[in-house]
Amino acid sequence: MSSQWVFFDLDGTLTQSEEGIWNCARYAAEKMGFPAPTEEALRKWIGPPLIWSFRNLMGMTETQARQAQEFYRERYTTIGKYENRVYPGIRNLLRTLRQSGVQMGVVTGKPEGPTRDILNHFGLLKFFERIACATDGHAEKDRLIRSVAPEGEAEIWMVGDRKFDIEGGIQAGTHTLGVTWGYGSEEELRTAGAERIAHTAREAAEILCPGAEVPKGAFLSMEGLDGSGKSTQIEKLTNKLEQYGFEVVHSREPGGTPIGEKIREILLDRNNAEMTDITEALLYAAGRAQHVREKIRPTVAEGKVLLCDRFLDSSVAYQGGGRQLGVDRVLAINEPAVDGMLPLATVYLDLDHRASLQRRSAASELDRLEMEQEAFHARVEEGYHALIARNPERYVVVDARGDRDEIAKTIAGAVLERLMANEE
């Protein structure tokens, strides 16, 4: 069987770089005392060499353009290159190909330094065996492709979003796949002679590797006392993971499925005051059994990241600790529900039960009922800490009292590390 190689263009194919490019162009214009470029003018910046753009799109002289390029690079090398996003589904495309034994490379008009930095920053470098870069903003794609194409028998594909990628591939004698999520239109790609067209990363996988199985995604949960800021952090984590090209699906407990939402109504209904503790624990577990089978497991099987607001640990802390049913009893009840589907990582937003109470009620002094609530929440907090002590490797514990953005940064760093290790 002959080997298969797939070469990808970077900008517009693997990553979306306009935010960084635009911010650097604006920065250079400002430094040079030129008017800020309009959104429409900026659109034309992606693709052509910088000097050309400064001269033709901003009307600079050759000397001014060289100076502007210096300013551009000053910002680009420190900040701009990371103002970048991995397109949705790219990670799964690369994982699918790698799993099928396809070898991969990157062919780009960018210089080697930023190319490697960007791929490394997003944890994509590990997928590529060969990288061909333009030395000074200027190199013909076909020559770059030839410089990394394997010798001898091999099925080789060039994948890109612009006509330069397709024309380069054709000239270098490779198969060509045009992708429409980048900067070129389908018409541009077809006119250039693209052999195949893909509108999504999934379609690209199907074309390059028909019938290949999608690698598993991951299951994450977010836990904490009421008022610990879970919703905010779920949103911030989702944005970060999406920037890295993970496909994120949200869910929550109690709930997550139509049956689970009905169970949620029963559980949270204030009129159900006569509900016994064991009934409560069994209902949470019942909803969970449905959730694992109907939503969590299928989503992970599709290669996505399922991020769940509360899961098993809430039962251990609230019913096991708060209601005093005991950790082991609650775990036993939940075993058939969870069916081995434990989160790859659980973020715990660590908030003292008193602070949790204060965040929920602004009262400075607690009445008798609130005192009881306080004892309940103290046990919930204890329950969480007992769980974390039992299996510390599953948890990402963060102090919930810090600055929201700092908390988000810590969470993203730890979660990304685990998700990337999970891709190996």
What is the nearest approach in angstroms of ligand TYD to the Cβ of residue 344? 18
Nearer Cβ to ligand TYD (62/270):
270
Quote the least distance from Cβ 254 to ligand TYD, whole Å. 5
Q: Closest by alpha carbon to 14, among 146, 108, 149? A: 108
User: Of 50 and 312, which has the nearer Cβ to ligand TYD?
Assistant: 312
Q: Which is nearer to ligand TYD, 13 or 319 (CB)?
A: 319
Q: Closest separation between CB of residue 16 and ligand TYD, Å?
A: 33
Neighbours of 127 (CB within 10 A): 22
Provide, rounded to whole angstroms, the least separation between the CB of residue 131 and ligand TYD. 45
Pick the closer one to ligand TYD by CB: 245 or 254: 254
Alpha helices, H only, 106-192: 112-121, 141-148, 163-171, 186-191
List CB contacts of 192: < 8 A, sequence separation 6 or more. 163, 166, 167, 170, 178
Which two three-digit tokens encode residue 128?
Answer: 């590529």
Binding site for ligand TYD (CB under 6 A): 226, 253-254, 284, 309-310, 314-315, 318-319
What's the min distance (Å) between Cβ of 334 and ligand TYD?
8
* Least gap, CB of 314 to ligand TYD (angstroms): 3
User: What sign does the dihedral 117-120-124-125 (CA atoms) show?
Assistant: positive
Residue of 233, 279, 169, 246 whose CA lies nearest to 404:
233
Does an H or E element contain 57, and which? Answer: helix 50-58
The distance of closest approach from Cβ of residue 287 to ligand TYD in the complex, given in angstroms and rounded to an integer, is 8
Q: Rounded to the nearest whole angstrom, what is the least distance from the CB of residue 386 to ligand TYD in the complex? A: 15
> Which CB, 108 or 319, lies closer to ligand TYD?
319
Q: Report which residue's Cβ sits closest to ligand TYD.
A: 318
Q: Quick one: which of 108, 206, 110 has its CA closest to 165?
A: 108
Q: How many CB atoms lie within 10 A of CB 85?
A: 17
Q: Which is nearer to ligand TYD, 22 or 348 (CB)?
A: 348
Of 131 and 349, nearer to ligand TYD (C-beta) is 349
Which token pair is 165? 């990628």
| Beta strands 175-179; 196-198: pairing state | parallel
CA atoms of 317 and 315, how far apart (whole Å): 5
| Smaller CB separation from ligand TYD, 180 or 319 | 319
Nearest to 351 by CA among 255, 185, 224: 224
**Amino acid identity for residue 181 in this structure:** W
Question: Measured on CA atoms in the order 170, 172, 177, 180, is the torsion positive or negative?
Answer: negative
Lookup: tokens for 323: 């209601």
The answer to whether 153 touches 3, Cβ cutoff 8 Å, is yes
Q: What are phi and psi of 289, to 5 degrees?
A: -60, -45
Q: How far is the CB of 319 from ligand TYD (least distance, A)?
A: 6
Smaller CB distance to ligand TYD: residue 203 or 294? Answer: 294
